[in-house]
Structure 1
Amino acid sequence: MSDSVPVSLSALIRRRKPGYSLEAPFYTSSKIFERDLEIIFGRHWIYVGVEPDVPEPGDCMVVDIGRISVVVVRDDSMAIRAYHNVCRHRGARLVHEPKTTVGNLVCRYHQWTYGLDGNLMFAEHMGKGFDTSCHNLKPVHLRSLEGLLFICLADEPPSDFDGMAAALGPYIAPHDVRNTKVVKEVDLIEPGNWKLTMENNRECYHCGGNHPELTIPLFAYGFGYAPEEMDEVQREQAGRYACMVRDYSAAWEAMGLPSREIEHLDDRITGFRAQRLPIDGEGESQTMDTKVACRKLLGHLTNPKLGGLTVWTQPNSWHHFMSDHIVTFSVIPLSPEKTLLRTKWLVHKDAVEGVDYDLERLTEVWIATNAQDSELVGYTQEGVRSPAYEPGPYSPYTEMLVEKFCNWYLARLAAHLDDRHAV
Structure 2
Amino acid sequence: MLDRSESSLASLLARRIPGYTLEAPFYTSPEIFAADMEAIFEQHWIYVGVEPDVPEPGDVVTVDIGRNSILIVRDDDMGVRAYHNVCRHRGARLVLEEKTTVGNLVCRYHSWTYNLEGDLIHAEHMGENFDRSCHGLKSVHIRSLEGLLFICLAEEPPEDFDGMAAVMAPYIAPHNIRETKIAYQHDLIEPGNWKLTMENNRECYHCGANHPELTVPLFAYGFGFAPEELDDLEREQAERYACLVTAEHTDWERMGIPSRCQEHLDDMVTGYRAERLPLDGAGESHTLDTRAASKKRLGSLPSDKMGALHFWTQPNSWHHFMGDHVVTFSVIPLDANHSLLRTKWLVHKDAVEGVDYDLENLIGVWMATNQQDSDLVGYCQKGATSPAYQPGPYSPHTEMLVDKFCNWYIKRMLAWHGPTRVTAKA
> Residue 203 of structure 1 contacts residue 401 of structure 1 at CA under 8 Å; is this kept in 2?
yes
Amino acid of the residue matched to residue 320 of structure 2? H
Cα distance, 1:158 vs structure 2? 0.4
- Give unpaired runs (5+ residues) of structure 1: none
> Corresponding residue for 2:14?
14
| 1-structure distance, mates of 2:14, 2:154 | 26
> Corresponding residue for 1:48?
48
> Residue 60 of structure 2 contacts residue 102 of structure 2 at CA under 8 Å; is this kept in 1?
yes
Give the 3-state SS of the residue equivalent to 1:245 in structure 2.
Answer: helix
Amino acid of the residue matched to residue 226 of structure 1? A
| 1-structure distance, mates of 2:41, 2:383 | 25
> Residue 52 of structure 1 contacts residue 178 of structure 1 at CA under 8 Å; is this kept in 2?
yes
> Residue 37 of structure 1 contacts residue 66 of structure 1 at CA under 8 Å; is this kept in 2?
yes
> Corresponding residue for 2:128?
128
- Give unpaired runs (5+ residues) of structure 2: none
> Corresponding residue for 1:200?
200
Amino acid of the residue matched to residue 69 of structure 1? S
| 2-structure distance, mates of 1:8, 1:230 | 44
TM-score, scaled relative to structure 2: 0.98
Amino acid of the residue matched to residue 328 of structure 1? T
> Residue 43 of structure 1 contacts residue 154 of structure 1 at CA under 8 Å; is this kept in 2?
yes
Amino acid of the residue matched to residue 37 of structure 1? M
> Corresponding residue for 1:344?
344
Amino acid of the residue matched to residue 167 of structure 1? V
Structure 2 counterparts to residues 260-275 of structure 1, below 5 A: 260-275=260-275
> Corresponding residue for 1:400?
400
Give the 3-state SS of the residue equivalent to 1:410 in structure 2.
Answer: helix
| 1-structure distance, mates of 2:309, 2:144 | 18
| 1-structure distance, mates of 2:130, 2:30 | 43
Give the 3-state SS of the residue equivalent to 1:60 in structure 2.
Answer: strand
Amino acid of the residue matched to residue 48 of structure 2? V
Cα distance, 1:240 vs structure 2? 0.5
| 2-structure distance, mates of 1:56, 1:5 | 55
Stretch moving more, 104-113 or 297-306: 297-306
> Residue 3 of structure 1 contacts residue 31 of structure 1 at CA under 8 Å; is this kept in 2?
no
| 1-structure distance, mates of 2:245, 2:4 | 51
Superposed CA offset, 1:51-81 (max 9, x none)? 0000000000000001100000000000000
Cα distance, 1:417 vs structure 2? 1.4
Superposed CA offset, 1:113-170 (max 9, x none)? 0000000000001011110001000000000000000000000100111100001111
> Corresponding residue for 1:334?
334
> Residue 3 of structure 1 contacts residue 29 of structure 1 at CA under 8 Å; is this kept in 2?
no
Cα distance, 1:355 vs structure 2? 0.9
> Corresponding residue for 2:64?
64
**Is 1:237 aligned to residue 237 of structure 2?**
yes
Cα distance, 1:5 vs structure 2? 5.1
Structure 2 counterparts to residues 341-420 of structure 1, below 5 A: 341-419=341-419, 420=422
> How many residue pairs get matched?
423
Cα distance, 1:416 vs structure 2? 1.0
Cα distance, 1:3 vs structure 2? 5.2
Give the 3-state SS of the residue equivalent to 2:22 in structure 1.
Answer: coil
Give the 3-state SS of the residue equivalent to 2:95 in structure 1.
Answer: coil
> Residue 6 of structure 2 contacts residue 12 of structure 2 at CA under 8 Å; is this kept in 1?
no
Amino acid of the residue matched to residue 223 of structure 1? F
| 1-structure distance, mates of 2:334, 2:318 | 19
Structure 2 counterparts to residues 79-118 of structure 1, below 5 A: 79-118=79-118
| 2-structure distance, mates of 1:331, 1:4 | 30
Give the 3-state SS of the residue equivalent to 2:417 in structure 1.
Answer: coil
Runs of 4 or more, structure 1, over 3 Å off, are: 1-6
| 1-structure distance, mates of 2:78, 2:92 | 27
Give the 3-state SS of the residue equivalent to 2:126 in structure 1.
Answer: coil
TM-score, scaled relative to structure 1: 0.99
**Is 1:219 aligned to residue 219 of structure 2?**
yes
| 2-structure distance, mates of 1:312, 1:21 | 20
Amino acid of the residue matched to residue 349 of structure 1? K
> Residue 50 of structure 1 contacts residue 149 of structure 1 at CA under 8 Å; is this kept in 2?
yes
Give the 3-state SS of the residue equivalent to 1:415 in structure 2.
Answer: helix
Cα distance, 1:301 vs structure 2? 2.1
> Residue 297 of structure 1 contacts residue 348 of structure 1 at CA under 8 Å; is this kept in 2?
yes
